[in-house]
Structure 1
């Protein structure tokens, strides 16, 4: 394979990375389950303007839910809702990789540009979110498109401004106001550095008007049809700006998160800063440096050092790291390449060994450990999955033997190795992982325990992911215990410490690996008060 990869070779590698693992498992805890729950509610209830979760209003920007719902309908003939909805994440990921490639081509030239999508997709933190139903992926796509638009603002002002305006408006529709805030000072920075500032300023102003028109269509629809929902949405948005996220503590957390989350883009960006230290004022370097600092500041101040918003730090790091790939010294490049080949060959061997333990019970010690972590799991041999995994392993062996020497070989082997590892996990380990993460058996058990004749079910502290899963799997919906309706419910569903004092426990359950008391789900019925004689 010639390096750097391009055309079909790059497309096949990235396509295999993106779409492997999007299907084949149930909704999982946190964002994946919540997003699929909102999509399911949208599909079944038709609340296109006002997304809701398990029958409750869920004030959030709707773009990702819209596209996921459309995807679930297009592929309803072949896939269940949760798997078809995740295909929208694959599309957003593919678009993000495309736009970061285009932005790198504008800043660093056509020859170095293929390193950008390899670095972004190869970032360890990106791997976790690229294969779940995650609205932040749509925001990431908007950011990468915005960088492409801003990078061509001087050369092609109309196309650059149009791209930036659409990215800003659609990004707001994807995740609200706060994640898009960093792009405003970045645009001002580009205008300030432009040789034709007046033209650049007018272009950015026009792009802001375009963004307002795009975002305003949904807001106007809410104002006319559901002003209460619009007020709730803005309340959530303003709360993010007013509550704060302890910026100094968030910066400290980012210092421990980014070294593994942004690997290998972060060290390569650091190398670029060193080797190009006399060129830091040039636009190809100054733009990503400023963009990273601004995004880091906004994330620390308003979004916190959480994994999903940290995705927005990756595009500027990647754009800064691209020149570092080609400028690595031969010794460092060879060491990085050997590290990648040895690491992922070892991880691939471990993945096959773990699969053997789960399916065949060998090695016995490893099989006992897998059974202890997920009690009751029984591994099944799938000839299709094994054949696919074996084909990927053989392709990896062929790649590391035949790849020509090139400055791009190290990052190519990293990306290919990461793709292989994820492919092995998705094909060989996914049944074991899904067994421990799905709420499907728990929901079915609860459904059987519910009285045939019942009124409402109150919940005191259930997380959104659990509310979404119960509704998706068995149509179990609850009302908030503190609401007027919840206070009159005869049934109470809680997670955590047992409830006493006027409540009789009907059922208790949890996922196989949940052993702690505060992880258990419990169903109670209100005790009827016995009347005393003479009263």
Structure 2
């Protein structure tokens, strides 16, 4: 993004488009601690691969972690390659940037195939500008791998008639990524999508051969990886396959999950949904053309299939964004002048006001002005003390000046409002993580709590038992202090010397029996619901 000329040529192409998308991908990907929930869980699992002697199976804090391994392998690879240059969590999280880049690239070429060269840049810009992808693209998230698989399948479908060989290879890669990345839950929806992909072609029979070859090739890739895991991590592979079958055999809550996806789609996909609706209205008489029918059919098919295998979560909903972005592409470029100007004005004003609010909030945290806002920040995160960071201040100032400089510098074009929106969203996100990062880390990071907990066990030997410890908490303690935990047996017994209990009430925080002496109790600042107690065997 830096270095854009004052008179940007539209539509963007080449290095200009690559710079826009690279700015989006890199903004906020680095520089922050592993955060509670999924980010720290996936980072902790990937980091275990860097330990000497670790096999191909997944583990979390000393316990097997049953999930598709490919994302964690890729994160471990980026951690190995760039761990000398970046903090290890940033190096591991770089894998998310690579999978997001693959997704945007596939969506770009799909848009070019469906709508032509002049419209191709709109498709990845729309996808990058959606609310739902913003946070997920900048955390450790295996669903980004499945997002790339869906995007590759869309590209394969658009190329099936003109380049059947390339389409077969892309579809094969899509299946392999889905199976190794998310298991049966990710693989089955893509397999079912092969049917509409074949039927939507002008000559369906001609598409059967490349699709059949891709099925065979994808199956062989999955089989080869399965054989490798069977040799190097047989116990983990057996446990993972058993879990996959158990999840597949469990009846889904189809209607509730479908309702959940439909409920979050309007805000999650903004502004794609209204633009896609405008596209359908504009081309209602040409709805049978591949440019409309292909993304529309795959969008509806995904919407109906995902509740069968994946629960209704934000991480699942991002899979609906690529076909929705493709549907919205002709709509955003055919907005009437009044609507386009309104979208452009709203984008410039909204993100400019948001940037001002971020700077005012930063001033309150660092300098104590405005006083009322400063008091509110401390109330939300008790004990927080802001510190001036020259690097992040300089980065935020540079991005803010760039935003001001480019506000009047975009020429009139159907692309102007779209670029303003996507660039503004990325700018606002980068300002958020630059200016507010210490405050966000203070509330989301377990670094200080993990250090305090580890300090209570300077002579810890052997194992640490745990009771009611969540995956995010287990991952945080394992990541920051390399603690390893062992669950209690069925009768609540353990041979471990130490016991860590998580709970909300006194009853939940009590040990499972006698013989335990409480050593420490604590929680993160501002989080009164999540408390921990550390016990040691009284006999010791």
Relative to the length of structure 1, the TM-score reads 0.95
1:77-116 alignment runs, 5 A limit: 77-116=84-123
Q: Secondary structure at the match of 1:24?
A: coil
Q: Give 2:518's aligned residue.
A: 505
Give the Å deviation of 1:24.
1.3
Deviations 1:477-508 (A, max 9, x none): 11011368953334321111321552432111
Q: Give 2:261's aligned residue.
A: 254
Give the Å deviation of 1:218.
1.6
Q: Which moved more, 1:446-455 or 1:395-404?
A: 446-455
Matched, 1:123 2:134: no
CA distance in 2, matches of 1:486, 1:74: 42
Deviations 1:392-414 (A, max 9, x none): 11221222212122222111111
1:366-385 alignment runs, 5 A limit: 366-385=373-392
1:88-487 alignment runs, 5 A limit: 88-450=95-457, 452=459, 454-482=461-489, 487=494
Paired residues, number: 527
Give the Å deviation of 1:463.
1.4
Q: Secondary structure at the match of 1:38?
A: helix
Q: Secondary structure at the match of 1:112?
A: helix
Q: Give 2:76's aligned residue.
A: 69
Report the RMSD for the aligned CA atoms in angstroms.
Answer: 1.8
Give the Å deviation of 1:147.
1.0
CA distance in 1, matches of 2:495, 2:255: 45
Deviations 1:197-227 (A, max 9, x none): 3321011000011111221222111233443
Q: Give 1:59's aligned residue.
A: 66
CA distance in 2, matches of 1:254, 1:186: 19
Q: Which moved more, 1:158-167 or 1:247-256?
A: 247-256
Any runs of at least 4 consecutive aligned residues in structure 1 with deviations exceeding 6 A, and if so which? none
Contact persistence 2:59–2:65 (CA under 8 A): yes
Give the Å deviation of 1:526.
4.1
CA distance in 2, matches of 1:464, 1:282: 47
Q: Secondary structure at the match of 2:326?
A: helix
Contact persistence 1:154–1:200 (CA under 8 A): yes
Q: Secondary structure at the match of 2:411?
A: coil
Q: Secondary structure at the match of 1:458?
A: strand
Q: Which moved more, 1:54-63 or 1:95-104?
A: 54-63
Contact persistence 1:186–1:290 (CA under 8 A): no
Q: Which moved more, 1:432-441 or 1:246-255?
A: 246-255
Q: Secondary structure at the match of 2:120?
A: coil
Q: Secondary structure at the match of 2:386?
A: coil
CA distance in 2, matches of 1:241, 1:278: 41
Q: Which moved more, 1:59-68 or 1:92-101?
A: 59-68
CA distance in 2, matches of 1:478, 1:425: 35
| Structure 2: gaps spanning 5 or more residues | 1-7
Give the Å deviation of 1:468.
1.6
| Structure 1: gaps spanning 5 or more residues | 530-535
